[in-house]
Structure 1
Amino acid sequence: MRLLALFAVFIAMHARAAITVTDDTGAPVTLPAPATRVVSLAPHVTELLFAAGGGGRIVGTVSYSDYPNEAQAIPHVGDNKALDLERIVALHPDLIVVWRHGNAARQMDRLKALGIPLYYSEPKRLDDIAASIDKLGALLGTQERARAASTAFTRDISQLRGKYAALPPVRVFYQVWDDPLMTLNGDNVFSEVIGVCGGVNVFAAEAPRVPTISTEAVLAANPEAIVTATPGATKPDRALPALDRWKRWTSMTAVARGNLFGIDGDVINRPTPRIAIGAAELCRDLDMARAKR
């Protein structure tokens, strides 16, 4: 009986040690113990893992996983188009964090077949970023540090929302790419950031998440501000070649008032805590647009 009781205690302790969270597909991810060897298969994932306190446990990343600086020293196992599966296996990871729509589906199927726990990451809302940090912290056993990071991010966004969201709205066109001309609809993090700043995404109602649009559609929408991603920080006198195409349309409000803005793509395109920095820049830009009325 005593042996049975001890065995029952052992089983109960083992069950309590197991960690289960839900990833961004809604699927449960269970680890028997906190992950100590993690492979990150997207730049934003690498940032989230560092924010959650697990940077020192990342044994492999992909191209452009360049933030924070320490991430640049981690070996690469491929990029968003092709992965070196043999190298991933050789790293003996106990957790692989993948980008649901960024990593090749065929290779994801092969990763699944390896039996290594996969966590799919694709935050679509600002709240998802904070939740992702907390969930990764749970899988890493770094809950305290993760909670501090998620709380700070939520606070920063809340402060921006309180300062700008209720101001007179600014109609915004976000140019993702110039050839072909592409934007974002309302089902993404950056469109929510526009709302935090008191802006309105003029193409929020489009069906595709990344719709291809025409010049005529932009002219018809007549945005008050046009925003695009640039390399490096925003400067008032910065040349924005990607937006030069619009300067001929002097009757469009954004052009007539000089409201063509560029923001460092790393802080607006990656769903990580740094998007709070991009949001602050955008809020200042839209406030400049209001001042020109």
Structure 2
Amino acid sequence: MRSWLAVLLLAGTACAHAVQVTDDRGARVAFAQPPQRIVSLLPSLTEFVCALQACERLVGVDDYSNHPASVRALPHVGGLEDARIESIVALKPDLVLAPTSSRALERLQALGLQVLALEPRTFADVQRVLALLGPVLGTRDAAAIWRGIEQDLAVAARELPPHLRGTRVYFEVSSSPHAASESSFIGELIARLGLRNIVPGALGPFPLLNPEFVVRADPQWILVADDDVTRLPARPGWANLRALRDGHVCVFTAAQGDVLVRAGPRLAEAARLMVRCLRGELAAQGPRR
């Protein structure tokens, strides 16, 4: 009798957890139990898993996942273009989290692996991915995490000195130069802080800009998530930019850049970095000319 009762209780627990979600491809993915062996192929997805207190279930990550520190010791299995399929299969995952842009998606599914394709690009996406992964993992309250992010963003915005509100900023994500426009999640951060982005959203989230565009816009501050700052004055016309003349350039470290360019659960930390930059609390480069 007791054995039958135990079976019924276990079955009831399994049914109670049964979850079906729709990923960013529109594919419906069902889970009878919370996955216990997870491979993540995008740094932000790795961070989501850990924010939801399931970090210990990660058995492999992409080559760029480095936060929190514990994931650095895990097997690294490639990136968007070069995911090592054999290495992933060898880890025997019961869930692979991958961006929709990964070239490995179809092959992983063809090999019978459970794949959830998610690629957060906006604030709304971050909230949605949290809400989706929370039930799948069966862990921490995702809604509470999002409320905490929102509250911390509001605190960061209040910490920006009033005289800096409306400051016109240019945020460069790579030295190509690719910039973060108003329609990117970085652009959303900039707006939430009360700053003005010189790059319109109509150009796309991360447009490749002609350097002359920035010269015409003449931002008051330049924020650079790249170590190429010494070359900025050599760009056509840039030597006369007011931001360079006034030394209003923030160059973030590689670790800080990771926080800023990932649409994940560290949005509020990214906002605080921007505020600290504008308050002069981070090392600024670009001496007065």
TM over 0.5, yes or no? yes
TM-fit CA distance, 1:63: 0.8
Instruction: Choose from 148, 152, 160 the match for 1:156.
Output: 152
> In structure 1, what is the Cα distance between the partners aligned to 2:188 and 2:115?
28
What is the letter of the counterpart of residue 21 of structure 2? V
- Counterpart of 1:219? 215
Match in the other structure for 2:32: 32
Which residue of the partner structure matches residue 51 of structure 1? Answer: 51
TM-score w.r.t. the length of structure 1 is 0.80
Q: Which moved more, 1:68-77 or 1:24-33?
A: 24-33
- The alignment status of 1:114 with 2:103, answered yes or no, reads no
**What is the match of residue 276 of structure 2?**
284
The alignment status of 1:241 with 2:230, answered yes or no, reads yes
Range that drifts further, 127-136 or 151-160:
127-136
Deviation of residue 284 (structure 1)? 3.2
Matched, 1:187 2:179: no
Instruction: Quote how far apart the aligned CAs of 1:253 are.
Output: 2.4
Are the structure 2 counterparts of residues 211 and 165 from structure 1 closer, same or farther at C-alpha, using a change threshold of 3 Å?
A: farther
Q: In the TM superposition, what is the alpha-carbon distance from 1:76 to its structure 2 partner?
A: 1.7
**1:128 is matched with which residue?**
125
Aligned residue number for residue 225 of structure 2: 229
In the alignment, is residue 79 of structure 1 matched against residue 68 of structure 2?
no
Q: Give the C-alpha shift of residue 287 in structure 1.
A: 4.9
Q: Alignment partner for residue 172 of structure 1, among 165, 169, 173? A: 169
Structure 1 runs, 4 residues or longer, greater than 6 Å off: 9-13
Counterparts in 2 of 1:72 and 1:197: CA distance versus 1, 3 Å? same
- Please say if residues 193 and 279 of structure 1, whose CA atoms lie closer than 8 Å, have aligned partners that are also in contact: yes
- How many residue pairs match? The answer is 269
Unaligned 5+ runs, structure 2:
1-8, 281-289
CA distance in structure 1 between the aligned counterparts of 2:10 and 2:50, rounded to whole angstroms: 33
Please say if 1:255 is aligned against 2:252: no
| In 1, Cα distance between equivalents of 2:62 and 2:245 | 42
TM-score (norm 2): 0.81
> Judging changes above 3 Å, is the alpha-carbon distance between structure 1 residues 164 and 20 closer, same or farther for their aligned structure 2 residues?
farther
Q: Is the CA contact 1:39–1:60 (under 8 Å) kept in the aligned structure 2?
A: yes
Instruction: Give the conservation status (yes or no) of the 8 Å contact 1:247–1:255.
Output: no
- Runs of 5+ unmatched residues, structure 1: 1-8, 232-238, 289-293
**How far has the Cα of 1:248 moved from its partner?**
6.6
Q: What SS class does the counterpart of residue 60 from structure 1 fall into?
A: strand
